[in-house]
Copies of this chain bind each other. A is one copy, B any other.
């Protein structure tokens, strides 16, 4: 049950003993978006076997990374303060991984929490500072996100709502990476504009951009 150890004494070895097991960092990623129930985690990690999810949750608790939310009638998992300190790690890892993403395969899902963290990884506060506050509604796969940018602050939440620009499509990551121009994305149908102007999609592309 205890994570297998590497026989080394050092920061990186200790870290991978705590969160290096398969699925562990994806659980942490989703919990960085917010506290989640067991079933929500399972839904956000469609291919994780339930016994593995249960085992990881125990290990992460034993490691002091997550805990069951106290004084809550239902079971809710949340990060401890120490677990929350993984945020820069996960954001950096996500940014690094974004760089080598190619086009999504049909079998690959894009979940709300995953997309949320990708947007956080790619968000450029300095750029957003000079742009007017904007609300975007994005639909990708089954996930609906409401993305509010206001100066240097970013707020992403699930669900729908009023937005300046509403769009859908699985080409969002490639737009963020600069591989896909906003105009072309609309022209080829890789991104479908539901409401709002193409200019706002360009603004989105400037606000969220993977910095090589």
Q: Which residues of B contact A45 (CB under 8 A)?
A: 6, 8
The answer to whether the Cβ of A99 comes within 8 Å of any Cβ in the partner chain is yes
Q: Which residues of B contact A94 (CB under 8 A)?
A: 10-12, 15
What is the distance, in angstroms, from A63's C-beta to the closest C-beta of chain B? 8
A115 to B10, CA, bound (A): 7
The answer to whether A25 and B7 touch across the interface, beta carbons within 8 angstroms, is: no
Set of chain B residues within 8 Å of A93, measured between Cβ atoms: 11-12, 15-16, 89
In chain A between 60 and 118, which residues have their CB closer than 8 angstroms to a CB of chain B?
63-64, 82, 85-86, 88-90, 92-101, 104-105, 107-111, 114-115, 117-118
For A92, A104, A110, the residue with the greatest tally of chain B CB atoms inside 10 Å of its CB is A92
Chain B residues contacting A92 (CB-CB under 8 Å) are: 88-89, 92
**A11-B98 Cα distance, complex, nearest whole Å:** 4
Q: Closest residue to A16 on the B side, CB-wise?
A: B25
Most chain B CB within 10 A, of A8, A12, A88, A115, is at A12
Q: Contact between A14 and B97 (Cβ–Cβ < 8 Å)?
A: yes
Known: A18-B100, A20-B22, A100-B82. A110 touches B12 (CB 8 A): no
Check: A121 CB closer than 8 A to any chain B CB.
Answer: yes
Residues of B within 8 A of A22 (CB): 4, 20
Known: A8-B46, A9-B109, A10-B115. 17 other contacts (CB 8 A): A4-B22, A6-B26, A7-B107, A7-B108, A8-B111, A10-B97, A10-B110, A11-B95, A12-B26, A12-B29, A12-B97, A12-B114, A14-B100, A15-B93, A63-B100, A89-B93, A89-B96
